[in-house]
A = this chain, B = another copy of it.
């Protein structure tokens, strides 16, 4: 058996390619599909089937493009009518043969109504070998249940409980577990960073599975969460099908003189480099979470030009892929000469003010701390001076801030607060970043 996990960094998304006897299937392919073609070639396989666990909301699925390139059939859930224009609808209990392997669909509603998990069986074995759990059961976490609105929250959460506790876990403690996301994804909150897991290990250690009853579970788990701005567009693209991207890829150099007014400079260097010197009007985004926040702060029609240190091709193409995966097909190139390219036009880089935590403690005056984390507490002494706007909501709510006040932006490590500070700089504020984040306060 060939088994390959394909991780899409930035989204913490996992897709899978599994092969046997020259044939292969793919679970939840991402939009840049060359990786599946490459792996199929490496292992001498022909991709014959594509399976989706559910209509994804956090990335653009690549089923149609991969199918067009390989002739593979696409299989989607028949348990919920979402207006799909592609794919064959399949139901609970259906079984597919790929080489010597059998794959059985399991209807597991909760995250979505139609959600399917897939259990894999080896030849002639009754015991299931592994299960692809999509956004149902993660390592150390479960899929969110708030996509159908507050009015359906308890119902969906109850469905999830049944799916996990009464349908997945009974497959057996020994069954290996392969979810659609890992630590860092916006689809869960407290995923563990483990390379593998089993149903039994989750049963024993997953905090949410320790609830005494279904009611207790709903009580503790049902909760509305932040939904990033771009999720709705993903939901739409993923039933209609996204434009094909092909793979003739380039991120060309753009000279400073050729920059256009409608191009946004996206600075993807380190936060320290942005602090030390950045181009006026540019935005900072860390490559580590670019997919998540780009789709939150910008519209997908925005045209972007990157600001980098050395323009390493692999890095530029990775950024391009991260953008394509969330439907941002709008990277024009990178700025030749980087942050110093405007020197000849007499525009030196600007620095971004910072403050160390201990200095903040001693600071007098009417300053304001903007906490752009999702939900975490600040020390008591800061409470009164703190305004909370999660970074995901900043594009909507920044006007709540008083532009006359000194604003110190706070997050865990400084990455997100540098993004927020660059956003505020470009919207008329004078922010400073709290160096090292909450650790130093």
Contact = CB atoms under 8 A, between A and B. Distances in A.
A194 interface: yes
B436 A70 contact: no
Contacts of A130: 196
Contacts of A122: 192, 194, 205
A252 B46 contact: yes
Band of interface residues on A? 35 or more
A333 B69 CA distance: 13
17 contacts: A1-B195, A2-B195, A33-B248, A34-B248, A40-B250, A45-B253, A47-B252, A125-B205, A173-B173, A173-B174, A175-B201, A176-B176, A340-B414, A340-B436, A344-B439, A346-B440, A348-B357
A316 B311 CA distance: 18
Nearest to A340: B436
A294 to B, nearest CB: 19
Interface of A: 1-3, 22, 33-34, 37-38, 40-42, 44-47, 69-70, 122, 125, 127, 129-130, 172-176, 192-196, 198-201, 203-205, 246-255, 269-278, 309, 311, 313, 316-317, 333, 336, 339-340, 343-344, 346, 348-349, 351-352, 354, 356-358, 413-414, 435-436, 439-440
A365 to B, nearest CB: 21
Nearest to A36: B250
A70 B333 CA distance: 11
A235 to B, nearest CB: 26
A48 to B, nearest CB: 10
Nearest to A413: B340
Contact of A309 (B37, B176, B270): B270
Q: Which residue, of A46, A255, A339, A354, has the highest number of chain B Cβ atoms within 10 A? A: A46
A436 B345 CA distance: 11
B205 A176 contact: no
Nearest to A356: B348
Contact of A246 (B199, B248, B436): B248
Contact of A127 (B201, B336, B346, B356): B201
Nearest to A354: B351
A3 B195 contact: yes
